[in-house]
Amino acid sequence: MAELFASGRIVELILALVAVEALLLLAVRRVLGRGPAPVLLLANLAAGAALMLALRAGLTQSPWPVVAGWLLAALAAHVTEMVLRLRRERRGRLVADEA
């Protein structure tokens, strides 16, 4: 079990599960028409994936710029998600005000 963590393979397993989760949520949305908006879901999962990759880089003792790069990627994905959510919320308020 220690080798699973030391090698960073645990992160790869978690990322695989996250990919399956994303596919299932996108399929549910396509079939039922309910669930998270695809672009918001993918931005959220990208932020989480980048954080996990930063963890993997730390576990495998990668140079600090690699860890910092993944953290920066997580920040960019998170900011993207927040901007999209705020725009969507604002659009919803504008439509409600017009009614």
Nearest to 42 by CA among 71, 21, 11, 12: 21
The pLDDT assigned to 90 comes to 86
Mean pLDDT by 10 residues, the chain (99 residues): 90 96 95 92 96 96 98 98 92 66
Structure tokens at 37: 């908006």
State residue 95's pLDDT score: 61
Query: Whole-angstrom Cα distance, residue 3 to residue 8?
Result: 8
List Cβ neighbours of 33 (8 Å cut-off, separation of 6 or more): none
34: left (phi over 0), alpha (psi -120 to 50) or beta: beta
- The domain segmentation of the chain, as residue ranges, is 2-98
